[in-house]
Chain A
């Protein structure tokens, strides 16, 4: 797993890059909450706005995570983005993919916690 100090080496940029990594790390629970709450909103009935938010949040995380060394977040967010895209484009959601989405949100949440723990350990050490 890459950490902030794998980029740019030692030098004056370290503190800046470490701060950006920290902000990404600290913002992850909010991203997961957004995915989870939009999924909950969709469970009450299809809503295009919730479907778009679900899709875009997962898709953005899938694209951004690897640049922050959060490779473990890619697989669950990719599955969620794929499901969300289907829902958003079709204008409906099915029970089977909703069940998969729920499981993947939990996988994503676990992956986020593991990433945060590992990165905070490295930052402290």
Chain B
């Protein structure tokens, strides 16, 4: 599986990247903001893009809107990474995201969570 992770927290990016690469053998491309993230999704064409909901500049919602409105990236499943309190279910559905991973997440089972949200089989 190829994943693009878009999150502004460098420590969290490292943790998610290691978790997915080490536990699941996935290939992770990490981006610190929406602009670089969208570029990475266009370039990598990942099996899933994991997007922090709240980021400075372009927030996760806008990132997803842009990806879904671009024919080159519209089919990429999107999963929001977010704290429960800020979750807006209506927005998640409106933008066509596959689901949400709520922080704090368990790094050891993150790959299973993503696979399940994107319709794949659990390990």
Contact = CB atoms under 8 A, between A and B. Distances in A.
Instruction: Decide whether A and B are members of one complex.
Output: yes
A67 B105 contact: yes
B86 to A, nearest CB: 8
B103 A64 contact: yes
A8 B12 CA distance: 16
B11 A64 contact: yes
Interface stretch (A55-63, A89-97, A100-108, A109-117): A55-63
A13 B101 CA distance: 23
Interface in A60-78: 60, 62-68
B113 to A, nearest CB: 13
Contacts of B19: 7-8
Interface residues of B, number: 20
Interface in B7-29: 8-12, 14-15, 18-19, 22-23
A44 interface: no
Contact of B22 (A13, A65, A68): A13
B56 A67 contact: no
B105 A59 contact: no
Contacts of A52: 56
Given A16-B18, A17-B18, A63-B103, A68 B23 contact: no
A20 B105 CA distance: 16
A46 interface: no
B11 A24 contact: yes
B107 interface: yes
Interface of A: 7-8, 13, 16-17, 20, 23-24, 27, 52, 56, 59-60, 62-68
20 contacts: A7-B19, A8-B22, A13-B18, A17-B15, A17-B22, A20-B14, A23-B11, A23-B14, A24-B11, A24-B15, A52-B56, A59-B83, A62-B83, A63-B82, A64-B9, A64-B11, A64-B103, A65-B104, A67-B15, A68-B11
